[in-house]
Structure 1
Amino acid sequence: MTALQEQARHPAIRSGATAVVTGAASGIGLAAATRFAAEGMAVWLADLPGGALDAARETVSAAAPGGAAIRAVPTDVGDRAAVEALRDAVCAEGAPAIVMLNAGIEAGGKLFSDAETWHRILDTNLWGVINGLHAFAPAMIEAGEPGAIVVTGSKQGITTPPGNTPYNVSKAGVKAATEALAHDLRGRENGRVTAHLLIPGFVYTGLTKARGVAQKPEGAWTPEETVDFLLAGLARGDFYILCPDNETTRAQDEKRIAWAAGDIIENRPALSRWHPDFSEAFRRYTQG
């Protein structure tokens, strides 16, 4: 019996049902796909083609009980036709119970990065989510079975710190799109599909490694710890699944998020947390 079987679970997580995970070749996506497979779900892994996706399929297959189908489908989530082709392949065997739209990149963008960089980040992070929602949500709704759509957001899409602006914009858009999805789903009569926004903390993933961090920092969670927190949040029915980590508590996150919203309410300068005239006030606020 797995740890998940010993606790409450979202009804979408059930043996014999299907899960689709984008960005499944590494990090949180791979950890989630592995957990779904261990629960006896058929899992479709979507990511860019290459050795990482092939290796991920082997990893997930090793976790699956005998007979569970594990498939890896090279997919550029920014390409709507590719996402619709993935949807058609999956739904040929029935609508999925879980869709986790997790694919994401950073790509080192700045406010004045060239248009190609902006498009590359937004095409993957934002349009990849929109494409996935449009492709899979209607089929899941029509199926009338318990389902969950999980979208991986970011704290940077909420507090939008200076730098890495294209990434912040993409994740702010992801938050807005997923909130709209949740509102739509809960307004449907006899609706059985729920939406959830996963907001990871500091996680040691491929994005972290790409920044030259060779070993997991002490402050970071593993992808597996993040997925554990996700599954507990799904079981509770949480929409905002706001993850702490080994260096940031929930209380700290709450104050940072509240301060960001307070910029509008108090008519402070934009991003006042990093403004020299307000940095000390922010420090006192967070330590109070």
Structure 2
Amino acid sequence: MPTVFRQGATAVITGGASGIGLALAKRCAALGMRVLVADKDPGLLAAIPEGVAAVSVQMDVANPEDWVKIKEKVDSDFGGKLSLLALNAGIGQKSSWSSPSEFHTTMSVNYFGVLHGITTLLPLIKSSGNPTEPSAIVIRGSKQGITNPPGNPAYNASKAAVKSLAEHLSFDLRSSAPSVSVHLLVPGWTWTGLAGGKPGEGRDTEGAAELKASGAWWPEQVVEYLEKMMAEGQFWVLCPDEEVTEEMDRKRMLWGANDAVEGRPPLSRWREEYKGQVAEWMAQVM
């Protein structure tokens, strides 16, 4: 079956200098793809292992002008061909109801950073894809944008908006660009800089295995799972980890969706009066 992961194909990966983005860049490079790695951190860009990035660009995904520069780079360095667009960059800062600026910052990066990438590079993706050489868009989502746990409303709202955006893009491209697939990557607990690891650390980093939390996946495992799900034509790439199974994720998502169906108060899964019912629900075999 034709795949986007092929020798000679091209990729743009935002947030590509660390974590899952770097693991994806390494995988693409190992397959003979030409990779443009975009990241806001110049230090991380400088530390990318040799041979991974054909092109590296410092950018702020929240800035539309930086996306114009990325398009110019794809035109000049890749001949306008774009096989894989991985919109991976994001932030996870905390938010509170007393600070609207935190909401603006989070939405500008997590949501508009994705939207700018789509609107700027979609024409290249569409023109590059064909039945024998397909193209793909991978959008980084979050389980918090689906199950909506209390504690960080700005982040959850941004990822819920990204989920909706990805769903609509997939629906709209099904007929106008059938050779372009869309995939929502929803990692589980992954050992990256945000989770306690070092930004460039991976499964093969010397000594890293002794430091990694036992319940987390390596970024490389997320990329392997992504590649597998994409090969199966899956839009939803809902990654498990060493503590949360796919069945647990499904139950949590179903419970949250049923708040509206059952007329329960919002976020009932975390309310004390529903604690027993939630425990019974999670214990059921699906």
Give the TM-score taking structure 1 as reference length: 0.89
CA separation of 1:245 and 1:113: change in aligned 2, threshold 3 A: farther
1:204-243 pair list within 5 angstroms: 204-209=191-196, 215-243=211-239
Q: Give the letter aligned to residue 108 of structure 1.
A: K
The partner residue of 1:44 within 7, 25, 36 is 36
Partner of 1:5: none
What are the ranges of 5 or more consecutive residues in structure 1 without an aligned counterpart? 1-7
Does 1:11 pair with 2:3?
A: yes
Aligned to 1:201, the other structure's residue is in SS state coil
The partner residue of 2:125 within 113, 136, 140 is 140
Partner of 2:204: none
Query: Per-residue CA shift, 1:58-117, capped at 9, x if unaligned?
Result: x2x34x5xxxx611100100001111210121133222100000001111223x151222
Whole-angstrom CA distance in 2 between matches of 1:178 and 1:241: 12
Aligned to 1:179, the other structure's residue is in SS state helix
Does 1:35 pair with 2:22?
A: no
Whole-angstrom CA distance in 1 between matches of 2:272 and 2:197: 31
User: Quick check: 1:19–1:98 contact (8 Å CA) kept in 2?
Assistant: yes
The partner residue of 2:85 within 82, 92, 99 is 99
User: Quick check: 2:83–2:129 contact (8 Å CA) kept in 1?
Assistant: no
Give the TM-score taking structure 2 as reference length: 0.90
User: Quick check: 1:105–1:207 contact (8 Å CA) kept in 2?
Assistant: no
Whole-angstrom CA distance in 1 between matches of 2:197 and 2:240: 22
Whole-angstrom CA distance in 1 between matches of 2:69 and 2:229: 30
Aligned to 1:148, the other structure's residue is in SS state strand
Q: Structure 1: which 4+ aligned runs deviate by more than 4 Å?
A: none
What are the ranges of 5 or more consecutive residues in structure 2 without an aligned counterpart? 199-207
Q: Which deviates further from its counterpart, 135-144 or 260-269?
A: 135-144
Identity over aligned pairs, percent: 42
1:167-186 pair list within 5 angstroms: 167-186=155-174
Q: Which deviates further from its counterpart, 93-102 or 115-124?
A: 115-124
Partner of 2:102: 117
User: Quick check: 2:81–2:125 contact (8 Å CA) kept in 1?
Assistant: yes
Superposed CA RMSD? 1.7
Partner of 1:284: 280
Shift of 1:209: 2.4
Whole-angstrom CA distance in 1 between matches of 2:190 and 2:148: 18
Shift of 1:191: 2.4
User: Quick check: 1:21–1:45 contact (8 Å CA) kept in 2?
Assistant: yes
Shift of 1:280: 1.1
